[in-house]
Amino acid sequence: MATAHKDVLSKLDGKATRFGYSDALLMLGRDDPRVFVLDADLAKSTTTERFKNEFPERFIDCGIAEQDMVGIAAGLSLMGKVPFTSTYGTFMVDRALDQIRVTVAYAELNVKIMGAHGGISVGPDGATHQALEDLGVMRMLPHMTVINPCDVNEARKATLAVAAMQGPTFIRLGRESVPIITDDTTPFAIGKGITFEDGDDVTIAATGYMVYEALLAHEELAKQGIHARVLDIHTIKPIDRELLLKAARETGAVVTAEEHQVMGGFGSAVAEVLVQECPVPMEFVGIHDRFGESGTPDELLTAFGCRHTDIEAAVNRVLRRKK
Amino acid sequence: MEHDYSIAELKHLATEIRKDTLRSITAAGSGHPGGSLSAADIMTALYFQVANLKTPTDPDRDRIFWSKGHIAPLLYTLLAYKGFFPREELITLRKFGSRLQGHPKKDSPPGVETSTGSLGQGLSVAVGCAYAARYDHSPVRVWCLNGDGELQEGQIWEALMAGAHFKLDNLCTIIDNNGLQIDGKVADVMDLGDLAAKVRAFGWHVIEIDGHDMQQCVNALEEAKTVKGQPTAIIAHTIKGKGVSFMEDQAGWHGKAPSQDELAQALRELDGEEGE
């Protein structure tokens, strides 16, 4: 997405994370005959159309029937296939939640669930199509692995990684083009966060697109003499306790940033870790208990408090509380 | 035909299975006898005569999904009689620490193909399984058990669409059409109307049978194997609580355990029916 504000990283190329998903699906399609891709009439939007074109015999369009899609994927997995279900996050997680819970998670089936169009940045389609609860809902399910990649490369790596593991997984993807902030050399392992910037004054733990906003905040804060550590926590479950606790101990204050409801979401997941073993002052940047609305992605990210300026303000608040 | 039991032997087996199902529910103090008894005949025919099911781990075994998962007591009894786990374990039904959960949990015990219990989900799983079996040119046939009340769930109709759309002729669902659900008669709670016509209109081959006539059960299941180009639905007209006079056609016995006295009477009646 275009950045309307001062942007120290503006030279970066951008691409939507959903393309990283289909990049990986194409690689998997060539290498692993077990991989099937399912969609619910949104193959163009989710980008699974690319897989459909190359592997039509392993692509199943389930029609506008998300619950049935989850069941069909479950059946495929019981026969040793590795199915990826693909649709918008709202319809995937919310409409088919009972199917994901009972049929997939409870049975620990090897079904790979993908929720596209996560976050407020979905834009003009409005609240019905903006998945703001997907990460929180999915992380509550036993056995479920939950990943929220920050850019197209990380989305590709995450997709490959979930294919390589056994068990149910959820990956969130975004609609809009977002800056590419990792490359092939950036490490990726499920459950292992990445330290993007070092710093000792405060930790900004971010997930998904908000990692980029956290990097912008890092630059701005540096000008004020505040050295912020920036963590990319792509795996929300299992969360990287070790990295978070180390950061909390070393910086003494934590700000979380997510394009998602703060209540029950990523910030809550981080707080659950820190409050038990290393309670430090925290602030939560994200969406606070409200539905989205129509607008451009830029307008909405600003209006809903998902900008680096919001992170900077949260850092200043948390530092006032830091001992 | 995978096995060679006589109809009389299958009927005897179904009676014994009914008795042990009721014993396990009584021991548990809760559970679902009504639907277990209505489905007992056709599921006995399937597990002991028609389905290719020698071991619970054979990759080429037929897959049987219990979408109406609440009649788990019948499922467990069938699996115990198949020899997949010890019969003595049946009395641990619904007890803490038991493999026999109130509703089916995958592989617990061996032979439970997947987790079910929230209604309406199993047929979609069966569709996916049948799709994969056909893709693999596998001999696996896929069977599903639905209840009539369960058909009120919208997902069932999504799966009916999909099964026909994908022309899954290795798939057969059995509808245990006992006419009752928790709140009363299906026709009064939310009428399914002309069920056979509806399922047929969705593109399935429909067979209607008396679900307590063992010969008809075997014949219908065998016929399903011969259908080409479309999946089959067997609408088994059944009586909820079949075989126990005070349970028959009583919605109140959907999810209630018999007392010890009631169990004793039920066992006497089932044995008596056998003697007739």
| Per-residue model confidence as pLDDT tens digits over B168-192 | 999 999 999 999 999 999 999 999 9
Q: Give the C-alpha distances (Å, rounded to integers) separating B212 from A174, A243, B3, B9, B135.
A: 54, 63, 20, 14, 35
**In the listed set A136, A155, A179, which residue is the last one of a domain according to the structure?**
A179
Chain A interface includes B146 (CB < 8 A): no
Domain presence at residue B2: no
Q: Does A250 reach chain B within 8 Å, measured CB to CB?
A: no
Q: Which of A179, A207, A223 is the last residue of a domain?
A: A179
* CB neighbours of residue A15 within 10 Å: 17
Cβ atoms of B79 and B104 closer than 8 Å: no
A319 touches chain B (CB under 8 A): no
In a domain, A323, yes or no: no
Per-residue confidence (pLDDT) for residue A1, from 0 to 100: 38
In angstroms, the separation between the Cα of residue B234 and the nearest Cα of chain A is 21
Among candidate residues A186, A203, A188, the one with its CA nearest the CA of residue A244: A203
Mean pLDDT of B236-257: 96
pLDDT above 70 coverage of chain B, percent: 99
pLDDT tier at A12 (50, 70, 90 boundaries)?
confident
The neighbour count for residue B231, using CB atoms within 10 Å, is: 30
Report if residue A65 sits inside a domain.
yes
Mean pLDDT of B23-49: 97
Q: How far apart, in whole angstroms, are the C-alpha atoms of residue B131 and residue A314?
A: 52
Shared domain for A55 and A171, answered yes or no, is: yes
Q: Provide the pLDDT for residue A13.
A: 87
In the structure, what pLDDT confidence band is assigned to residue A10 with cuts at 50, 70 and 90? low
CB pairs under 8 A between A and B: 107
Q: Does A59 fall in a domain?
A: yes
Per-residue pLDDT at A4 exceeds 50: no
Q: Does B127 contact A108 at a Cβ distance shorter than 8 Å?
A: no
Residue A155 and residue A300 in one domain: no
C-beta atoms of B124 and A67 within 8 A? yes
Same domain for A174 and A248?
no
Residue written as tokens 């990049």?
A23
CATH number reported for the structural domain that contains residue A104 in this entry:
3.40.50.970
| Residue B267: pLDDT over 60 | yes
**Residue B55 DSSP label:** -
Q: Taking residues A224-231, what's their average pLDDT?
A: 98
Domain CATH for B161? 3.40.50.970
The proportion of chain B whose per-residue pLDDT surpasses 90, expressed as a percent, equals 97
Query: Which pLDDT belongs to residue A3?
Result: 37
What is the domain range of residue A307?
194-318
Q: At which of A125, A148, A179 does a domain end?
A: A179
What is the pLDDT averaged over residues A265-281?
Answer: 98
Cα gap B274→B276, rounded to integer Å:
6
Which pair of structure tokens corresponds to residue B23? Answer: 């014993």
**Inter-chain touch A103–B158, beta carbons under 8 Å:** no
User: Which of B105, B116, B126 is facing A75, going by the closest CB pair?
Assistant: B126
Q: Mark whether A125 and A256 lie in a shared domain.
A: no
Catalytic residue among A66, A220, A258, A283: A66
Cβ–Cβ contact B115 with A under 8 A: yes
Would you call B159 an interface residue with chain A, using a CB distance cutoff of 8 Å?
Answer: yes
* Range list of H helices, A55-166: 66-78, 89, 97-98, 134-139, 152-164
What average pLDDT score do residues A268-288 get? 98
- Assess whether A174 and A51 both reside in one domain: yes
Mean pLDDT of B70-79: 98
Which residue on chain A is closest to B117 by alpha carbon?
A: A102
The reported pLDDT for the residue numbered A98 is 98
Q: Complex ipTM, two decimals?
A: 0.97
**Residue A257 in domain:** yes
**Same structural domain, A251 and A218:** yes
Determine whether B137 is exposed, middle or buried from the number of CB atoms within 10 Å of its CB (0-12, 13-18, 19+).
exposed
pLDDT > 60? residue A200: yes
Residue A33 one-letter amino acid = P
Render pLDDT for A47-82 as a digit per residue (tens, 0 to 9). 999 999 999 999 999 999 999 999 999 999 999 999
Structurally, how many domains does chain A consist of?
A: 2
What does the mean pLDDT of chain B come to?
97
CATH code at position A270: 3.40.50.920
- Label residue B3 by pLDDT band (50, 70, 90): confident
Longest Cα–Cα distance in chain B: 52
Counting Cα atoms < 13 Å in the Cβ hemisphere of A276 gives 8
B134 residue type, one letter:
R
User: What's the whole-number mean pLDDT along residues B71-88?
Assistant: 98
Count, residues in chain A: 323
> Is A219 an annotated catalytic residue?
no
Domain around B194: 7-275
**Angle B37-B65-B238 (CA atoms, 0-180°, nearest 5)?**
30
Question: Can you give the pLDDT at residue A6?
Answer: 39
For A102-158, the pLDDT digits (tens) are 999 999 999 999 999 999 999 999 999 999 999 999 999 999 999 999 999 999 999
Average pLDDT over residues A164-184: 96
Query: Average pLDDT for residues A229-238, to the nearest whole number?
Result: 98
- Count of structural domains within chain B: 1
Cα–Cα distance measured from residue A104 to residue A113, given in angstroms and rounded to the nearest whole number: 10
Q: Return the residue of B nearest to A67 by Cα.
A: B155
Q: Which helix (H) or strand (E) holds B172?
A: strand B171-177
Q: Is A323 a residue whose pLDDT tops 80?
A: no
| Rounded distance between C-alpha atoms, residue A135 and residue A292, angstroms | 16
pLDDT for A11: 65
In a domain, A2, yes or no: no
Instruction: Kindly state whether B168 is in contact with chain A, defined as any CB-CB distance less than 8 angstroms.
Output: no
Write out chain B residues lying below 8 Å of A97, CB-based: none
pLDDT band at B4 (very low <50, low <70, confident <90, very high): confident
* 3-state secondary structure (DSSP) of residue B185: strand
If you write DSSP's letter for every residue of A185-250 in order, what string do you get?
TS--BTTB-EEEE--SSEEEEE-TTHHHHHHHHHHHHHHTT--EEEEE--EEES--HHHHHHHHHH
Domain co-membership, A240 together with A284: yes
- CA nearest B60 in A: which residue? A79
| B145, HSE (Cβ side, Cα atoms, 13 Å) | 31
- Using one digit for the tens of pLDDT, what is the confidence trace for B192-204? 999 999 999 999 9
Q: Is residue A5 over pLDDT 60?
A: no
Q: In the beta sheet, which residues pair with residue A283?
A: A255
DSSP conformational letter for A26 = H
What are the backbone angles phi and psi of residue B76, rounded to the nearest 5°?
-65, -40
* Residue A189 placed within a domain: no
Calculate the average pLDDT of chain A: 95
Within-domain flag for A1 = no
Is the Cα torsion angle A239, A241, A243, A248 positive or negative in sign?
Answer: positive
